[in-house]
Amino acid sequence: MQATGSTPQPVRFEQTSDAERPVGRSIRRGFLNTCPACGSGRLFGRFLKAVHACEACGEQLDQHRADDFPPYIVVTIIGHVVLAGFMATEMILPLSNWGHLAIWVPVTILGSIGLMQPVKGGVIGLQWALRMHGFGSHEDSPEDVLPVTDRTA
């Protein structure tokens, strides 16, 4: 319980004395394709290729490991939008299968292409805020070490 009159403390995902990196602001800056550190430099040099370093603040941005996470997010978002649109259209205006294909295939393709870069920028912003994959001052190595199993038993 919080005492009356006290201000809520921000949620922190790491215990460090380094400069604060707010998660929401970093994701928003990445989603807008700007540097998550300063918010003014470009994040991408090409469509999905992050720049080596921010031209405004010098933050190194190419060590991210977004991998397959942005496409999973895009598929989830576009899948929900297209399915809801398809079902609403079918209830209001019954179309043939060709009519639905003519509408929903382009919406799916264009929506996926349009969302991919902002979503990847948001994932890079999240990784930067949480100091993941080289964005912190520590070596990027696995933290889990499996115990040695006894093969004689």
The separation between CA 94 and the C-alpha centre of its own chain, rounded to angstroms, equals 37
Q: What is the pLDDT of residues 55-95, one digit of tens each?
A: 999 888 888 888 899 999 999 999 999 999 999 999 999 89
The pLDDT of residue 139 is above 80 = no
| Total length of the chain | 153
Residue 21 corresponds to which tokens in the numbers above?
């990196």
Q: What is the DSSP string of 41-64?
A: SBSBSSSS-B-SB-TTT--B-TT-
Q: What is the pLDDT of residues 3-29, one digit of tens each?
A: 555 676 666 555 554 568 899 999 999
